[in-house]
Every structure is written in structure tokens, then in C-alpha cells.
């Protein structure tokens, strides 16, 4: 991963480095090494197009108890690339065909 320390010269290299740093925040080292192998830093005349992920989201509950109550930590994580996003619970209150109506 020595490419992380290279000084980016082109827009594509700056985009690559930004994506590398974003992924470094949440990916394990081995997974990050694999991403670098698949997506090497572009050369000066190349464009950067990161490998897109067909996300498979799974709800992650990392809530925990402490002396003042419970800290709710619920989010969604892609099981393929480890990317995370906020969890928005499903709201079916707008459906008219629910039982009891």
C-alpha cells in the first residue's frame, strides 16, 4: 500500500487516494490490500473508476448498556464491501391495506 504515500498528480490519482482513505476507515488491512490489488493507483494518463459494489445490506446492531442506560447504535453494513450507511427502519404506515383498517 505504498501508493497511499505517493503524491497524487492527476485528478484520477486524487480520486483514487480519496477513495483509498475512505475505505481505510472501515476496511480490514487484508481487504484494503485486496482492493488496492484490484484497483491500483492510476497512471498519469489513466482514469479512475472504482470497482462498483452491488451492495447487500444487513442491519448491524452494536447497541450497548452503560450505567446511564442503553446506547443505541444501529446501522446497515454491506456484507460484500463493509461499507456502512444509516439504518432507516421500514415504515408501512402509509399502506392502506394493513390489517385492522
What are 36-45's pLDDT values in tens digits? 887 788 777 7
Strand pairing of 74-78 and 57-61? Answer: antiparallel
Sign of CA dihedral 48, 44, 33, 18: negative
Which is more confident, 61 or 89? 61
Maximum mean pLDDT: which of 5-9, 53-57, 64-68, 82-86 = 64-68
Residue 48 has pLDDT above 80, yes or no: no
Between CA 50 and CA 59, with CA 55 as vertex, the angle to 5 degrees is 135
Residue 97: predicted pLDDT: 56
CA dihedral 18, 24, 27, 29 (to 10 degrees): 130
What pTM value is reported for the model? 0.42
At residue 1, the pLDDT reads: 47
Res 22: pLDDT: 84
Q: How many CA atoms lie within 13 A of 98 on its CB side?
A: 8
* pLDDT at 46 > cutoff 70: yes
Amino acid at each position: 500500500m505504498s501508493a497511499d504515500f505517493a503524491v497524487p498528480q492527476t485528478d484520477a490519482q486524487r480520486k483514487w487516494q480519496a477513495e483509498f482513505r475512505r475505505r481505510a476507515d472501515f476496511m480490514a488491512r487484508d481487504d484494503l490490500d485486496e482492493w488496492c490489488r484490484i484497483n491500483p493507483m492510476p497512471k498519469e494518463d489513466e482514469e479512475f473508476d472504482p470497482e462498483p459494489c452491488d451492495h447487500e445490506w444487513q442491519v448491524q446492531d452494536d447497541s450497548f448498556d452503560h450505567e446511564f442506560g442503553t446506547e443505541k447504535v444501529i446501522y446497515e453494513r454491506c456484507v460484500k464491501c463493509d461499507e456502512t450507511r444509516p439504518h432507516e427502519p421500514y415504515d408501512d404506515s402509509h399502506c392502506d391495506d394493513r390489517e385492522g383498517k
